[in-house]
């Protein structure tokens, strides 16, 4: 027998290609040079330089006679495509609480609401000319008061949208029990006020779209750097007035997503195909970095107020959380981020009585849509800082306070009594939090830390330790599907509709197929995100690809295998139950000479009239078949394929704990990471190397979010650090060399593989764990994240002056 | 992020470069391009012409001028940071140049960027202008009127503004050598490895004389004389002559604290350097 590949550290099949520069991204599509008849036209966008203004006039007259410019579009031109193109962009996820949802137009109509909002779209021979043309468009503005930041949004002395009172897009409340009453009766009470600032995904590849309209076929072909090709397909079809069957969306290699590319359609995803059809030319838009900063999406910004009541052991009796979420100028992605904060805040704990209220607020800034973690980092921050505060108040060990609040292993499935982001109950499927806590304490050296701290203090050095726990609902529905096709060559073509932005899907999905089908791993070829191959799909977000598509692929491979065994049994004149498939060959157990390879089984699966090669002769009408039966049985179909879908009842809940030891410089307030430890439970691991890679990447992104990155808006709504020079994404030099990882495997009962998602976990506890560690080192409450050395210095200074 | 249109010249002599500059008042010299090209791409600068000096032979020299003045090192306009950083002559003659260069950006940028280009770009947040100013070096420029030497003390006139004329090409820079028994040190604090420093400091200790140069605390490279100041008072004495600035990365108060800390550190370590040099 061959070894099962599930659970093995299989090398990524993608890496050779990526490392040799052979990846193929959207910007690599259609690269014919200018001048050639099939050359691609390039688009550039005029973006608002103002955060809030009325557009009085747009004058494009200087642009039209520039040689090499093919078209310039403003809002008034959109209706010439279809009436719906001139309607606002879709509100993707409506929710009853989102009483004042607003989305922008593909090109601004009458008003701009953030710096970066698209106003005009120019198509030219190359991007240089397109940018020259953009700079010649003149817009007259009437300035309106910009609303920047949560405080300004709440004050509501100015409104982002005239028809949204108080700048409140949504107010939502969920309760379990009676938290205010429980807190009032509790022996101990605390209040916390916390803030988290904005950051953003910052994939290496920004947004990008290429479109080609084929007038002979009446068909649109669209390449786009997205996390949901089927979503873009549906949106483009609706907006362009096409049937779904006329639109193909292909997602080639994607240079990172981290959430930002799940929002769709971006204005350019509609404007590019619109221009391509109107001009009869292939049109490309490739976002540059400044555009990514000011016209894609951000996340994280929240202000939180927490009231908690607890007993002498630190056991939660009531938790009452109110928070204000800055969703930027529009709400295309609904309330997903604050809903996740409000529900995932609970982590591995039983609050007994819980009330959470949030207001999702408009500001004149870039929109907010999910960024890796998608609201969980903020929730984890609120809960874990509360745990730390309780421990400090009671003089107890921070780990012990957490432990008394854990859901116990025998309490699963555990219903938290809330509604999660997928509209279903927040019911945890499995987990073992006490075991995780023991592992993380050992891994980071929790018990030994006080001695280390004393030793360092004797040398005049300051160190601190932090711990944070999280639970992550992963693998949300509604579904994913898979198609497995065994070719007559014996190669196995696998298609699933969700997209890939670097996760290694081609590797892990091939592992699953090889295990189930008994073919060799090398013979499996995986295609993702191509609507021609799998038109039904949802997308890659919420740590769902392995759970959803992995399960669907497993089921589809199972179906293909059933068919293989049926045909092989007939060919080998054996019983199906006596057959085995090893290395792509079906043989009779104990009789290895009696065998047939998968390619031949594939030939036999398709009864032929015509032979095309030596191999296919075996399936022609004078070679095989029982003359007394139809060549294809009534309950069968030709071809060796398997197709299936996986649609779980609800999400599966991964969990984990992070701990960090930091050193803070007594003079310069620089913050150095001495040790970072992660215990992670995502059920059964398909490929531990890839899971660890996800954790490493997540931790690195979390370090960025906690210690380096922020969106520095000024009061007028200008983003002051819209470049990698001033937006401090950490380099490899800022990330510790070693991140210690230990796994716990608590399988999910909800899917056939017992797996849970792993994509976002690494980033969730960062703000919480660093705030805790710095607070421990400094003895100063840390209530605002991220924190820079300059800010830590300010905190020290104000403590000295208040002392 | 595509530059606005510009004319492009690639002269093969300094005289041709000067002529090209003289013919277009809105021209810029392109050497390593590590500061200029991003400015062009973001359309923060839109010169009518770029005069690319990379084809001019003989500008990439790094030479010790042992007979000349104070035995320093002359660096040609096309000498890349990486070549200057790797030069044993530079390290021997004026180790402060080597110390500071190791903090200039990242290896890939140093492979292309030029030291003279960085000097005349006149960014007070950059390492090399401060080093040149502290050491009392100079830059040689060639213009329609011939060649002239601009001492560092006259080179920096404002934020990102040098006294090199628009029709002049900087052809070399001269860093004076380290006097026997003198010592130097460089240290900076940056948010990320290779970033512009929040504050950086370079010290030169020569006998009783103590001078310290600072980057990122003012609009032009700042050098203060701390001769005779007690060790405990170095930071405050420096701050008395400086006015650190606020930006999105650090408050003025924090920069002041870094000035205090770094001043003490670089003076200490320059003294140690002097002792080591003296002992050899």
Q: What are phi and psi of B54, to 5 degrees?
A: -65, -20
Chain A residues whose C-beta sits inside 8 Å of any chain B C-beta: 127-128, 131-132, 135, 288-290, 667-670, 708, 712, 720-721, 723, 725-726, 728, 730-731, 733-734, 788-790, 793-794, 797
Label residue A31 by pLDDT band (50, 70, 90).
confident
Q: Which domain holds residue A665?
A: 397-475+649-802
Question: Chain A residue with minimal CA distance to B262?
Answer: A668
Residues A87 and A234 in one domain: yes
Contact between chains at A131 and B43 (C-beta distance less than 8 A): yes
Residues of chain B with CATH 3.30.390.50: 183-279
What's the rounded Cα separation, in Å, for the pair A683 and A255? 27
Asked whether B97 and B73 are in contact (CB, 8 A), the reply is yes
| Residue A701 within any structural domain of the chain | yes
| Residue A49 within any structural domain of the chain | yes
HSE-CB of B42 using CA atoms within 13 angstroms: 12
Q: What is the mean pLDDT of residues A782-801?
A: 96
Q: Domain with A707 in it: what CATH number?
A: 3.30.365.10
Tell me, what's the pLDDT at A142? Answer: 98
Q: Which CATH class is domain B183-279?
A: alpha beta
| CB contacts, 8 Å: B261 with chain A | 667-668
Average of per-residue pLDDT values in chain A: 95
Asked whether A126 and A45 are in contact (CB, 8 A), the reply is no
Residue A393: pLDDT over 90: yes
What's the rounded Cα separation, in Å, for the pair A681 and A651? 15
Q: Domain with A258 in it: what CATH number?
A: 3.90.1170.50
Residues A688 and A668 in one domain: yes
| 3-state SS track over A132-189 | HHHCCCEEEEEECCCCCCHHHHHHCCCCCCCCCHHHEEEEEEEEECCHHHHHHHCCEE
| Residue A319 within any structural domain of the chain | no
Q: What are phi and psi of A630, to 5 degrees?
A: -65, 145
More confident residue, B101 or A624: B101
Tell me, what's the pLDDT at B68? Answer: 55
Residue A803: pLDDT over 70: no
Label residue A162 by pLDDT band (50, 70, 90).
very high
Tell me, what's the pLDDT at B66? Answer: 72
Which of B194, B217, B251 to probe the A interface (max A CBs under 10 A)?
B251
Reference A534, options A643, A647, A646; nearest CA is A643
What's the rounded Cα separation, in Å, for the pair A602 and B54? 63
CB atoms under 10 Å from CB of B42, counted, come to 16
Contact between chains at B192 and A127 (C-beta distance less than 8 A): no
What's the rounded Cα separation, in Å, for the pair B136 and B178? 11
Residues A462 and A519 in one domain: no
Q: Given the DSSP bridges, would you call strands B222-225 and B209-215 parallel, antiparallel or unpaired?
A: antiparallel
Label residue A1 by pLDDT band (50, 70, 90).
very low
Tell me, what's the pLDDT at A801? Answer: 85
Tell me, what's the pLDDT at B67? Answer: 59
Residues A31 and A101 in one domain: yes
> Of the residues A646, A672, A702, which one is the last residue of a structural domain?
A646
Tokens 């490493």 correspond to: A696
More confident residue, A39 or A122: A122
pLDDT in tens, A192-235: 999 999 999 999 999 999 999 999 999 999 999 999 999 999 99
CATH code for the part of the protein at B62-175: 3.30.465.10
ipTM: 0.95
Contact between chains at A728 and B258 (C-beta distance less than 8 A): no
Residue A751: pLDDT over 90: yes
Label residue A33 by pLDDT band (50, 70, 90).
confident
Residues A558 and A630 in one domain: yes
What's the rounded Cα separation, in Å, for the pair B238 and B212? 8
What's the rounded Cα separation, in Å, for the pair A757 and A653? 8
> Of the residues A604, A623, A646, which one is the last residue of a structural domain?
A646
Contact between chains at B192 and A789 (C-beta distance less than 8 A): no
Asked whether B77 and B98 are in contact (CB, 8 A), the reply is no
**3-state secondary structure (DSSP) of residue A578:** helix
| Residue A715 within any structural domain of the chain | yes
Contact between chains at A723 and B257 (C-beta distance less than 8 A): no
Label residue A523 by pLDDT band (50, 70, 90).
very high
| CB contacts, 8 Å: B249 with chain A | 726, 728, 788, 790
Alpha-carbon distance B274 to nearest alpha carbon in chain A (angstroms): 25
In this complex, the residue of A667, A725, A790 whose CB is nearest that of residue B250 is: A790
Tell me, what's the pLDDT at A34? Answer: 67
Contact between chains at A789 and B254 (C-beta distance less than 8 A): yes
**Cis preceding-peptide flag for A413 (omega within 30 of 0):** yes
Residues A663 and A717 in one domain: yes
Tokens of A15: 């890496």
Residues A639 and A707 in one domain: no
More confident residue, A80 or A629: A80
What's the rounded Cα separation, in Å, for the pair A757 and A498? 15
Alpha-carbon distance A518 to nearest alpha carbon in chain B (angstroms): 47
Q: What are phi and psi of A56, to 5 degrees?
A: -90, -35
> Of the residues A646, A676, A691, which one is the last residue of a structural domain?
A646
Q: What is the mean pLDDT of residues A119-139?
A: 97
Asked whether A472 and A344 are in contact (CB, 8 A), the reply is yes
What's the rounded Cα separation, in Å, for the pair A226 and A25? 11
Which of A790, A795, A800 to probe the B interface (max B CBs under 10 A)?
A790
Q: Given the DSSP bridges, would you call strands B161-162 and B156-158 parallel, antiparallel or unpaired?
A: antiparallel
Q: Which residues on adjacent β-strands are paired with residue A229?
A: none
Tokens 């899917």 correspond to: A751
Q: What is the mean pLDDT of residues A334-343?
A: 97
Reference A658, options A341, A319, A399, A427; nearest CA is A399
Architecture of domain B7-55: 2-Layer Sandwich (3.30)
**3-state secondary structure (DSSP) of residue A610:** coil
In this complex, the residue of A712, A721, A793 whose CB is nearest that of residue B254 is: A793
Residues A489 and A601 in one domain: yes
* Dihedral sign, Cα of residue A339, residue A344, residue A350, residue A351: negative
Residue A177: pLDDT over 80: yes
Residues A728 and A637 in one domain: no
Alpha-carbon distance B255 to nearest alpha carbon in chain A (angstroms): 8
Residues A448 and A555 in one domain: no
Residues ≥6 apart with Cβ < 8 Å to A344: A375, A376, A379, A380, A470, A471, A472, A473
| CB contacts, 8 Å: A207 with chain B | none
| Residue A440 within any structural domain of the chain | yes
Contact between chains at A131 and B2 (C-beta distance less than 8 A): yes
CB atoms under 10 Å from CB of A637, counted, come to 10
A783: left (phi over 0), alpha (psi -120 to 50) or beta: alpha
Asked whether A717 and A298 are in contact (CB, 8 A), the reply is no
Q: How many domains does chain A have?
A: 3
Residues A454 and A554 in one domain: no
pLDDT (tens, 9 = 90+) of chain B, 280 residues, equals: 999 999 999 999 999 999 999 999 999 999 999 999 999 999 999 999 999 999 999 999 999 987 555 789 999 999 999 999 999 999 999 999 999 999 999 999 999 999 999 999 999 999 999 999 999 999 999 999 999 999 999 999 999 999 999 999 999 999 999 999 999 999 999 999 989 999 999 999 999 999 999 999 999 999 999 999 999 999 999 999 999 989 999 999 999 999 999 999 999 999 999 998 877 6
pLDDT in tens, A657-716: 999 999 999 999 999 999 999 999 999 999 999 999 999 999 999 999 999 999 999 999
């Amino acid at each position: 027998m061959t070894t099962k590949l599930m659970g093995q550290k299989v090398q990524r099949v993608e890496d050779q290609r990526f490392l040799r520069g052979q990846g193929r991204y959207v910007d690599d599509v259609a690269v014919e040079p200018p001048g050639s008849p099939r050359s691609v036209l390039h688009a550039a966008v005029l973006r608002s330089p103002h955060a809030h203004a009325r557009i009085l006039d747009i004058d494009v007259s200087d642009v039209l006679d520039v040689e090499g410019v093919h078209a310039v579009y403003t809002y008034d031109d959109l209706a010439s495509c279809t009436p719906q193109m001139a309607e606002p962009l879709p509100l993707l996820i409506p929710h009853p609480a989102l009483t004042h949802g607003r989305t922008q137009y593909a090109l601004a109509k009458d008003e701009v609401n953030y710096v970066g909002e698209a106003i005009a779209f120019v198509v030219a021979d190359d991007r240089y000319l397109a940018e020259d043309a953009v700079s010649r468009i003149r817009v007259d503005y009437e300035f309106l008061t910009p609303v920047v930041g949560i405080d300004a949004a709440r004050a509501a002395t100015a409104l982002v949208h005239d028809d949204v009172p108080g700048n409140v897009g949504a107010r939502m409340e969920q309760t379990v029990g009676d938290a205010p009453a429980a807190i009032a009766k509790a022996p101990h009470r605390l209040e916390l006020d916390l803030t988290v600032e904005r950051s953003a995904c910052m994939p290496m590849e920004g947004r990008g779209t290429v479109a080609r309209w084929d007038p002979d076929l009446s068909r649109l072909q669209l390449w786009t750097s997205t996390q949901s090709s089927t979503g873009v397909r549906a949106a483009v079809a609706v907006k362009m007035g096409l049937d779904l069957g006329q639109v193909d969306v292909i997602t080639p290699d994607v240079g990172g997503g981290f959430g930002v590319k799940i929002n769709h359609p971006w204005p350019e995803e509609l404007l590019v195909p619109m221009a391509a059809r109107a001009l009869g030319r292939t049109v490309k838009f490739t976002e540059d970095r400044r555009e990514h900063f000011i016209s894609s999406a951000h996340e994280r910004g929240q202000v939180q107020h927490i009231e908690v009541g607890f007993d002498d052991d630190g056991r939660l009796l009531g938790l009452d959380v109110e928070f204000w979420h800055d969703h930027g100028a529009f709400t295309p992605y609904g309330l997903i981020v604050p809903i996740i904060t409000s529900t995932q805040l609970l982590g591995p704990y039983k609050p007994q009585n819980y009330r959470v209220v949030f207001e999702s607020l408009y500001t004149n800034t870039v929109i907010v849509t999910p960024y890796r973690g998608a609201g969980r980092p903020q929730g984890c921050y609120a809960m874990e800082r509360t745990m730390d505060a309780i421990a400090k108040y009671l003089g107890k060990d921070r780990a012990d306070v957490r432990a008394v609040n854990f859901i116990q292993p025998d309490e699963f499935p555990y219903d938290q009594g809330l509604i999660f982001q997928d509209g279903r109950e927040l019911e945890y499927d499995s987990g073992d939090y006490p075991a995780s806590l023991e592992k993380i304490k050992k891994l980071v050296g929790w018990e030994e830390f006080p001695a280390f701290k004393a030793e360092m203090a004797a040398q005049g050095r300051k160190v601190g330790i932090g711990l944070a726990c999280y639970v992550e609902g992963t693998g949300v529905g509604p579904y994913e599907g898979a198609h497995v096709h065994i070719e007559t060559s014996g190669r196995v073509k696998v298609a699933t509709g969700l997209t890939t932005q670097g996760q290694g899907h081609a590797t892990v999905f091939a592992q699953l197929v090889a295990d189930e089908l008994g073919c060799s791993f090398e013979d499996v070829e995986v295609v993702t995100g191509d609507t021609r191959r799998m038109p039904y799909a949802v997308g890659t977000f919420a740590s769902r690809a392995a759970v959803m598509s992995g399960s669907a692929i497993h089921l589809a491979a199972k179906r293909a295998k059933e068919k293989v065994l049926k045909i092989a049994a007939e060919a080998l004149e054996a019983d199906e139950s006596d057959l085995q498939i090893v290395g792509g060959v079906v043989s009779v157990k104990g009789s290895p000479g009696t065998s047939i390879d998968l390619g031949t089984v594939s030939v036999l699966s398709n009864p032929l009239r015509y032979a095309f090669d030596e191999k296919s002769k075996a399936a022609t009408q004078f070679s095989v078949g029982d003359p007394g039966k139809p060549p294809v049985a009534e309950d069968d179909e030709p071809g060796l394929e398997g197709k299936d879908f996986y649609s779980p009842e609800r999400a599966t809940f991964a969990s984990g704990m992070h701990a960090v030891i930091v050193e803070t410089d007594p003079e310069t307030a620089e913050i150095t990471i001495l040790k970072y430890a992660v215990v992670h439970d995502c059920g059964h691991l398909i490929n531990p190397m890839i899971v660890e890679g996800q954790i490493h990447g997540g931790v690195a992104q979390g370090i960025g979010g906690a210690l380096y990155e922020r969106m520095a808006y000024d009061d007028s709504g200008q983003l002051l650090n819209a470049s990698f020079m001033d937006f401090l994404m950490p380099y490899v030099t800022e990330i510790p060399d070693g991140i210690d990882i230990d796994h716990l495997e608590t399988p999910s009962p909800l899917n056939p593989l017992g797996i849970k998602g792993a994509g976002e976990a690494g980033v969730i506890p960062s703000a919480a764990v660093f705030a805790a560690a710095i607070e421990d080192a400094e003895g100063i409450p840390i209530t605002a994240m991220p924190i820079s050395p300059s800010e830590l210095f300010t905190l020290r200074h104000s403590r000295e002056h208040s002392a | 992020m595509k530059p606005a249109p510009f004319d492009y010249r690639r002269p093969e002599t300094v005289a041709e470069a000067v002529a090209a500059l003289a013919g277009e008042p809105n021209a810029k010299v392109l050497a390593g391009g590590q500061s200029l090209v991003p400015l062009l791409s973001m359309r923060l600068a839109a010169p009518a012409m770029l005069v690319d000096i990379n084809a001019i032979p003989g500008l990439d020299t790094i030479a010790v001028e042992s007979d000349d003045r104070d035995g320093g090192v002359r660096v040609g306009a096309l000498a890349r940071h990486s070549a200057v950083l790797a030069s044993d002559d530079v390290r021997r003659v004026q180790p402060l140049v080597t110390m500071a260069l190791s903090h200039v950006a990242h290896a890939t940028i140093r492979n292309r960027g030029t030291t003279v280009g960085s000097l005349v770009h006149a960014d007070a947040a950059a390492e090399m202008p401060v080093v040149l100013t502290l050491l009392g070096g100079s830059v040689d420029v060639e213009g329609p009127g011939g060649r002239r030497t601009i001492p560092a003390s006259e080179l920096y006139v404002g934020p990102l503004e040098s006294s090199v004329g628009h029709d002049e090409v900087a052809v070399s820079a001269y860093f004076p050598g380290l006097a026997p028994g003198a010592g130097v040190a460089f240290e900076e604090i940056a948010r990320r490895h290779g970033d512009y420093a929040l504050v950086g400091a370079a010290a030169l200790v020569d006998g009783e004389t103590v001078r310290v140069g600072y980057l990122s605390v003012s609009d032009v490279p700042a050098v203060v004389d701390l001769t005779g100041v007690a060790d405990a008072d170095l930071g405050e004495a420096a701050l008395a002559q400086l006015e650190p600035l606020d930006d999105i990365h650090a408050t003025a108060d924090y920069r002041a604290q870094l000035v205090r800390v770094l001043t003490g550190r670089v003076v200490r370590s320059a003294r140690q350097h002097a002792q080591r040099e003296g002992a050899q």
